[in-house]
Amino acid sequence: METGALKLPLWGGLVLGVLLGIVLQRSSFCARAALADAFEGEDQARLRTFVLAMAVTLLGTQALAGFGLVDLSGTPYLRASVPLLGLLAGGLLFGAGMMLAGGCPSRLLVRTAEGQGAALLTWLVFVLAIMASLEGVLAPVRERLSGSAVALPAASLPALFGGVPAWAVTSGLLALMAIFLFTAPKASAWRGWSQPLAGALVGLLVAASWYVSIAGADEFDTPAATALAFVAPAQDLVRYLAMERLGFPLKFGSASVLGVLIGAFASAVVAGRFRWTVPTGPQMLRNLAGGVLMALGGILAMGCTIGQGMAGVATLSVSSLLAVASMVLGAWLAHRVLLRATHKASASRA
């Protein structure tokens, strides 16, 4: 393979990341905010934006697979044997950490690009905790929580349903998502154009990343397709920036994370929304604790709200659906705890 072909996925990942960073910054796309709105009974426009992104990712991913442009069988999401305890525990920890940290990893990147020092510090702690979970002081905790591998009834929904064609399962899921999207109240912010556009663009970029990640590969050296994600690639980026000479190269995932930071920063500057702020107050401790929980949870759950919630679900993975359900539950539990803490604090000041 030519050197240029080897570098093509890196450039593609960087460009995809830049575009995603612009969309995320301009739209305030955020899984945490979407779930918080739903938990509080608020306008679910942001949740519908996330669901639309999931739907577009699903449609695009299955179209790429159906036309033979991407082989999804080698992805880590489609495994029939997984550490089930770790997957579920990781989802709970990630969901709770996301609520405490004030955003998922991608949202922390965008807020960092806007100049928020609290987000930068939380993201750095998140990355350090990933390293500690894999090879450091948190590794024993991860190993204990992970448990042994458990054989699932099937790796994918089509196999689980007795060999139903992937297009049929995809159609069913898209129909359920469409019902939720089209039943939005007339007064909802979803009825405008900005939220649907943001969801569609995010979904297109995540779906396209499957193909871009293998762009330039020849028939003798075909790498496994991967998609945009923000847990392991965040660690890869920091290792590349700090220790490139020790053999830590830039990869597709880390290039895309760097691209998100660049794109969001450029978008914030152009929009006049870059304001450097210094982290202060007890809120910072909660954010840092959330970063640690997200790191440990993301490693155990094998992804984040974009990696598992969008790319993983788009492969029709059973384990991804379990991980996402666990993330939602963890987010709900943390939201309830935070809500009670807020009410108690308000009552004590009254």
- The encoded tokens of residue 303 equal 């992804």
Q: What confidence tens digit (pLDDT) does each residue in 247-297 have?
A: 889 999 999 999 999 999 999 999 999 999 988 777 899 999 999 999 999
Q: What is the 3-state secondary structure (H, E, C) of the chain?
A: CCHHHHHHHHHHHHHHHHHHHHHHHHHCCCHHHHHHHHHCCCCCHHHHHHHHHHHHHHHHHHHHHHCCCCCHHHCCCCCCEECHHHHHHHHHHHHHHHHHHCCCHHHHHHHHHCCEHHHHHHHHHHHHHHHHHHHCCCHHHHHHHHCCCEECCCCEHHHHCCCCCHHHHHHHHHHHHHHHHHCCCCCCHHHCCHHHHHHHHHHHHHHHHHHHCCCCCCCCCCCCCCCCCCCHHHHHHHHHHHHHHHCCCCCHHHHHHHHHHHHHHHHHHHCCCCCCECCCCCHHHHHHHHHHHHHHHHHHHCCCCCHHHHHHHHCCEHHHHHHHHHHHHHHHHHHHHHHHHHHHHHHHHC
Chain centroid to CA 151: how far? 25
Q: Which residues of the chain have pLDDT under 70?
A: 1-6, 217-222, 346-347, 349-350
In a domain, 262, yes or no: yes
Q: What angle do CA 22, 25, 27 make, to 5 degrees?
A: 100
Q: Give the pLDDT confidence score for residue 122 in this predicted structure.
A: 96
In a domain, 71, yes or no: yes
In a domain, 45, yes or no: yes
Contacts of 2 (CB under 8 A, 6+ apart): none
The total of structural domains in the chain comes to 1
Q: Give the pLDDT confidence score for residue 5 in this predicted structure.
A: 47
- The encoded tokens of residue 121 equal 């510090």
In a domain, 350, yes or no: no
Number of residues that make up the chain: 350
Distance CA(75)–CA(97), nearest Å, equals 26
In a domain, 51, yes or no: yes
Distance CA(299)–CA(131), nearest Å, equals 10
Q: Give the pLDDT confidence score for residue 74 in this predicted structure.
A: 86
Q: What angle do CA 329, 308, 212 make, to 5 degrees?
A: 160
Distance CA(9)–CA(267), nearest Å, equals 23
Q: Give the pLDDT confidence score for residue 3 in this predicted structure.
A: 44
Whole-model pTM: value is 0.93
In a domain, 89, yes or no: no
In a domain, 200, yes or no: yes
Q: What are the distances in angstroms from CA 95 to CA 35, 219, 251, 288?
A: 10, 40, 27, 14
Parent domain of 268? 3-84+103-123+148-283+300-328
In a domain, 344, yes or no: no
Q: What are the distances in angstroms from CA 57 to CA 247, 288, 306, 325?
A: 33, 31, 10, 18
Q: Give the pLDDT confidence score for residue 221 in this predicted structure.
A: 59
Q: Give the pLDDT confidence score for residue 223 in this predicted structure.
A: 73
Distance CA(238)–CA(202), nearest Å, equals 24
Distance CA(47)–CA(177), nearest Å, equals 11
Q: Give the pLDDT confidence score for residue 1 in this predicted structure.
A: 40
Chain centroid to CA 205: how far? 13
